[in-house]
Amino acid sequence: MTDVHSKEIRSKNMRAISTQQTAIEKQLAGLLTECGIPFRTQDASLAGKPDFVLDSHRCIIFTHGCFWHRHHCYLFKMPATRREFWLNKLESNVTRDQRHITSLVTLGWRVLVIWECSLRWKKKLTPEAITERLEEWIYSGACHAEIDTQGIHQLDL
């Protein structure tokens, strides 16, 4: 099946997708501010240019879109067109994410991934639930975890 848009229109549409100050980043920034947790954003000196850096806790937080980072949830759907392109693109994103996380952990950072599905759409967690899980992780000392619609999951590298 061919794309419904011309190559030029598709390129324009893809360039318009924001990589910073996204809705989920703004929402999480508000929750961190409400908790009184100081943070920096988009630190290009760190692997992966983390969305949030919590220096006082030596924590990194990434907010991942479920499509772009291939989360296995109800929000992810593989495009029907240009399937091979999308498989390669999304797999390279996942591989790059893992490389960045490993690099940060090696440098002594603790890394949390908050998935878009936990913050948006019909199955999202309440702001209170996100805040509770966020604080639980920050103070737990766990090295690497993810928050999605099912809650918080500690992960091994």
Write the DSSP assignment of 65-111 as a string of letters.
-TTTTT-SSTT----SSSHHHHHHHHHHHHHHHHHHHHHHHHTT-EE
Does residue 33 carry a pLDDT above 70?
yes
131 among known catalytic residues? no
Q: Give the domain range for residue 89.
A: 18-154
63 among known catalytic residues? yes
144 among known catalytic residues? no
pLDDT digits (tens, 9 = 90+) for 96-155: 999 999 999 999 999 999 999 999 888 899 999 999 999 999 999 899 999 999 888 888
Give the residue among 116, 25, 23 at the shortest CA–CA distance from 71. Answer: 116
- Residue 108 inside a domain? The answer is yes
- Residue 5 inside a domain? The answer is no
Report the pLDDT averaged over residues 64-69.
93
156 among known catalytic residues? no
Cα distance between residue 141 and residue 121, in whole Å: 30
Q: pTM of the full predicted structure? A: 0.84
Choice between 121 and 48, residue whose per-residue pLDDT is larger: 48
Identify the active-site residue in 63, 100, 144, 149.
Answer: 63
| CATH number, residue 37 | 3.40.960.10
**Helical axes 127-140 vs 23-35, angle rounded to 10°:** 70
- Residue 38 inside a domain? The answer is yes
Q: By the 8 A CB rule, do 18 and 68 touch?
A: no
Q: By the 8 A CB rule, do 137 and 152 touch?
A: yes
Query: Looking at the 3D structure of the chain, how many domains does it have?
Result: 1
Identify the active-site residue in 64, 97, 100, 148.
Answer: 97
- Residue 4 inside a domain? The answer is no
